Structure 1
Amino acid sequence: MKIIPSINIKNGHCVRLVPSQYQCSDIISHSPKKVAKMWQEKGASFLHVVDVDGALSGHVVNDETIKSLIENLSIPFEVGGGIRSMKAIESILNLGVKRAVIGTKAVGNPTFIREAISNFGAEKIVVSIDAINGMVAMEGWEKVSNYNAVAMAKEMIELGVRNIEYTDILRADLKLGPNVEHIQEMIKSTGLDIIVAGGIHTLKDLEQVVNSRAYGVILESPLYDNRIDLTTAIELFEKGDKK
């Protein structure tokens, strides 16, 4: 299983988000580059990067910081947050980013996703499905749509999407542990390799996600709070190939 550290960028800083209050954050470091290099040195082979300002404003904001990551890392990473146009996708990919993560724009807009897949290829596009009580959240978690998360995932498959990331927002906020039942439903219903986030706070939680047959997991708070050691997690669940 792929272990993927998350780096959230706000005002050029690396921050930790409050899951149900996307606009609230604590500064972890004034240098996202330094944090990214630390995860690389600890064994990460891929990173998940979020432009928090972009998610809230609807367009990419921290492109200079993202460019700095490209110039200073030897591992690939994906970027999400405010990528809501073909021009934004093209700009991000042209910087050298491995994949563009599409969230809000994917909700109820199949034409956009189909066009993105056609223009850039399925391997370059990730659809992020963030859910509250099983319903898709959007615009930096500020709104909850009337789309069921699993139903949306099925629709994405029909559009050619091959990469889906699924976040259970409340599980992350309430520290309840992973919603294994929902994760398994998402995997079984789509037949895809699903990367999950939310509710993973300990190595035991991580093991539950491994047992759910998820392809990968995105980790944020447990890494920054030192509740999960990245190197240990990679040795146990990624290099051990316990998918």
Structure 2
Amino acid sequence: MFKKDEMLIMPAVDIKGGKCVQLVQGEPGTEQVVINNPERVAKYWEDKGANTVHVIDLDGTLNGETNIETIKKILNEVNVPIQLGGGIRSIEYAENLLNLDIERLIIGTMGIKHPETITKLSEEYGADRIMISLDSKNSKVVIKGWQEEINKSATEISKEFEDYGAGSILFTNVDVEGLLNGFNIDPILELVKSVNIPIVYSGGITTIEDVEKLSKTGVKGIVIGSALYKDKIKIDDALKYQSLKGEF
């Protein structure tokens, strides 16, 4: 559940081949971080004070081979909420994950191709537990592991999914994902203004100044990956911005 005056800091635990990895723009073979035992990584972020851990099953996203056993290990290891996405291609698999007590399920390709699935899951499990993933590349939404383009922007499609019953939106700017070069604030501000449901942002967050800037946009959470693993941002410093600081 997103709180009114809080911006959640969400450390990313991306799983590939049963390991925690960080890729550049989601491209296989660009691993810059490889750590065994993702469940211990998730526990580390919990112990450091994270209130939510953001878990992505990259194998599920890229080739449909899910890391369900690793996901179960993470759920057994940590006590804070888990926000999970990657490779959710059927209602049945989504229901299985929600019944494992995943706090919030991130649905991308299936939701965009079949928006009625968002409605069904939201009605059955509650909108707070269903997040639609809008990944943007060259200002257009992309699906299937960022390989297929939809001829709409995230802002254009966001209102549709609010109407379909999504409880929140994960907005990822693929153009800057994993590059550690910062991000463009304008699409984020535009998206926040377009809907009334919470927005979580991911992509290009590199410095503590980026975290401060995002805390003023109205987003309800930010996902930080490579910058934490490469020690460009200290989790303790980032957590200081969980209370919203104002607005642009």
The bucket for the TM-score relative to the shorter chain is over 0.9
Distance in 2 separating the partners of 1:71 and 1:191:
33
Task: Specify the alignment match of 1:189 in structure 2.
Answer: 194
Task: Specify the alignment match of 1:237 in structure 2.
Answer: 241
Q: Does 1:2 align with 2:5?
A: no
Q: Does 1:223 align with 2:228?
A: yes
Alignment of 1:154-193 (within 5 A): 154-193=159-198
Unaligned 5+ segments in structure 1 are none
Per the normalisation by structure 1, the TM-score is: 0.93
Q: Does 1:31 align with 2:42?
A: no
Cα shift readout 1:8-52 (whole Å, capped 9, x = no counterpart): 001110011111525643442111011111111111010110111
Does structure 2 retain, via aligned residues, the 8 Å contact 1:84–1:105? Answer: yes
Alignment of 1:26-175 (within 5 A): 26-58=32-64, 61-175=66-180
Does structure 2 retain, via aligned residues, the 8 Å contact 1:8–1:14? Answer: yes
Does structure 2 retain, via aligned residues, the 8 Å contact 1:81–1:102? Answer: yes
In structure 2, the CA distance between the partners of 1:20 and 1:87, relative to structure 1 (3 Å rule), is: closer
Does structure 2 retain, via aligned residues, the 8 Å contact 1:77–1:97? Answer: yes
Distance in 2 separating the partners of 1:27 and 1:20:
13
- The aligned amino acid for 1:21 is E
Distance in 1 separating the partners of 2:52 and 2:59:
22
Does structure 1 retain, via aligned residues, the 8 Å contact 2:89–2:109? Answer: yes
Does structure 2 retain, via aligned residues, the 8 Å contact 1:13–1:27? Answer: no
Structure having the larger proportion of residues in helix: 1
Q: Does 1:18 align with 2:24?
A: yes
3-state SS, counterpart of residue 28 of structure 1: strand
Distance in 2 separating the partners of 1:52 and 1:78:
14
Aligned residues: 240
In structure 2, the CA distance between the partners of 1:16 and 1:174, relative to structure 1 (3 Å rule), is: closer
Measure how far apart 1:225 and its partner are: 0.5
Measure how far apart 1:193 and its partner are: 1.9
Cα shift readout 1:99-135 (whole Å, capped 9, x = no counterpart): 2110111224222222222222211211111101221
- The aligned amino acid for 1:105 is M
Does structure 1 retain, via aligned residues, the 8 Å contact 2:12–2:53? Answer: yes
Cα shift readout 1:66-112 (whole Å, capped 9, x = no counterpart): 11111111111011001121111111112221121101112242222
Task: Specify the alignment match of 2:4 in structure 1.
Answer: none
3-state SS, counterpart of residue 93 of structure 2: helix
Does structure 1 retain, via aligned residues, the 8 Å contact 2:12–2:55? Answer: yes
Q: CA RMSD in A?
A: 1.6
Distance in 2 separating the partners of 1:8 and 1:132:
20
Unaligned 5+ segments in structure 2 are 1-6
Measure how far apart 1:186 and its partner are: 0.1
Measure how far apart 1:57 and its partner are: 2.3
3-state SS, counterpart of residue 214 of structure 1: coil
